[in-house]
Structure 1
Amino acid sequence: MDASDVVDIGSPHPKFVYGLNTRFSYKGFDLSILASGVYGNKIYNRNLLNFSRLDFGVSEPANQLASAYRNRWIDAEHPGDGKTPRITWTDQTGFNSQGSDLYIEDGSYFRIKTITLGYNLPKNVISKFQISNLRVFATLTNFFTFTDYSWYDPDLGDTNDSSSGTTSIGVDNATYPSSKMWQCGLNISF
């Protein structure tokens, strides 16, 4: 291996970031949508590396992805998917646990961050109860993400490597995904 083997496998920085914020109203109903996304970044998915290591030594975890086991190289007649390495017993060389472009994925995504649907009850109905305004609403947060990324959440932000104290941009090392939430409520004015 020499300098001629070096190739650009992508950047963790998106080529562009975009967003949308809109609100519609009709006959007492209102709908607001907040969405955002990124395009053109790469993610190094360490989860795939960690959970597809096929070296079953005494100190190695045995709970691996089933796809890594099914797609592994066995021999020339059973090459698997052509990407997943063979199973070894305690990988002394570390070949099966090295970083590889096999774990680089497209990090582009489009996420609908919030959708809120509300309804303002008519004034002639609520005025009987000494209420000037009554609105009921429901909100979904982080329910819809469109991406080709294979793990939980492509929106990694900056992750902190606790062992070295460095910030890792574009590395998913079991980053906790964005929470999905739903809310409903009332806005009342007297």
Structure 2
Amino acid sequence: MRSFLAALLALTTLSSVASQSFLTGDAPAPRIPLPREKAPAFSAKAVLHDDFTQVSLSDYTEKSQWLVLFFYPFDYTFVCPTEIRSFSDNAAKFAEMNTGVAGVSTDSHHTHLSWTRTSRENGGVGPLNIPLVSDTGKKISYDYGVLITDSNDDMFGAALRGVFIIDPTGTVRSVIINDDGAGRNVDEVIRTVQALQYS
């Protein structure tokens, strides 16, 4: 079953990748928005609480909230469930800090839904308290500079593991980007949000 899903994801990714000009050399290389720069606006389909919804940067800025926007390569991969569950398990702590959390990958919202409906024992992530945003068009990952655009890379068309802390004005305040094998420390993300809020 898992190999079938992997093959399906690969076909979906290649199909979507082929149609994107920024993956065919027609656009500049992705540029990471740095601290003190405006965060790129986005609006996309997502999965939250076993249902489809729409998630936008403005959902947070219009409520004067901070946002932790994190990127990960794919659903159904090894490192992703652990860190995503950690972000989800700490959703209430982030909420106490007036901070929302959203995860983004280039998977479809249907794949996100399937992953959240699959138990952790069977390779899924299980129910989450945070939205998983679908970036099948790759634009969000590209705009945030984490899209892998090298066609010789075996993760071509996926996102690096990035974390962007965005303040209520829509300004990037912190950027953390790791290669695929290294997960994020959610406690450190919480500490960074607290430090930025009181600086």
Task: Check whether TM > 0.5.
Answer: no
Which of the pair has the greater relative contact order for Cα pairs under 8 Å at 6+ separation? 2
What range is the shorter-chain TM-score in? under 0.3
Instruction: From the two aligned structures, give the one with the greater helix fraction.
Output: 2
Question: Which protein shows a greater Rg?
Answer: 1
Instruction: From the two aligned structures, give the one with the greater strand fraction.
Output: 1
TM-score, normalization: structure 1?
Answer: 0.25
